Amino acid sequence: MNDIYVLSVLGIILLIATITDLAKHKVYNWLTFPALGLGLGLNVALQGVPGLWFGVAGLLIGGLLFFPAFLWGGMGAGDIKLVAVVGAFAGWIFVLNVALYTALVGGVIAVVVLIVKGELWQTLKNISRFLRSIFVPKLTIEPLSKKYPMPYALAIALGTLAAYLLPPIVML
């Protein structure tokens, strides 16, 4: 993923997704679906049929990596599609690194949000109780006072930037 034009287009898509996620807590299909096609199309235009397989593999791996988080309610469908967009543009090896950096960035953002909202201590107690409840089933977990939406497009954009600028975690 060295083509500056491809990187620029992906950067613009990630910027738009981040803005809409911060403003409306949503990554829209009007952005992700055309972006998926554009990522695949650019790879085909630049590499031919191998570019198609490169983009499809990235799209599938990117989409599947965070799918369990979506099933558990920790991530929205738009976030999953946005990671798939990164894969469609950049391929499966790059999107593996994006996923790892995104998880790190997302964790930092979550801790900051919990600190700002005054819920960090209760969350840590809940995690401790959850882990102990595996062995002592009668323990209960106290709910947080509110559920806070996480602007995960920001974490995906920063994770993508980190994967581009920092050394790869996964090298194949």
Inside any domain, residue 172: no
Inside any domain, residue 34: yes
In sequence order, the 6+-apart residues with CB closer than 8 A to the CB of 41 are none
Inside any domain, residue 170: no
Higher pLDDT, residue 81 or 68:
81
Q: Please give the distance of CA 32 from its chain centroid, rounded to a whole number.
A: 13
What pLDDT score was predicted for residue 100? Answer: 95
What share of the chain in percent tops pLDDT 90? Answer: 59
C-alpha count within 13 angstroms, C-beta hemisphere, residue 64: 8
Inside any domain, residue 145: yes
Inside any domain, residue 38: yes
Least confident range from 13-22, 112-121, 146-155: namely: 146-155
Inside any domain, residue 25: yes
pLDDT digit string (tens) for 118-136?
Answer: 888 888 887 787 777 777 7
Average pLDDT over residues 15-23: 96
Structural domain span for residue 107: 4-165
Q: Which helix (H) or strand (E) holds 62?
A: helix 49-65
Inside any domain, residue 171: no
Q: How many domains does the chain have?
A: 1
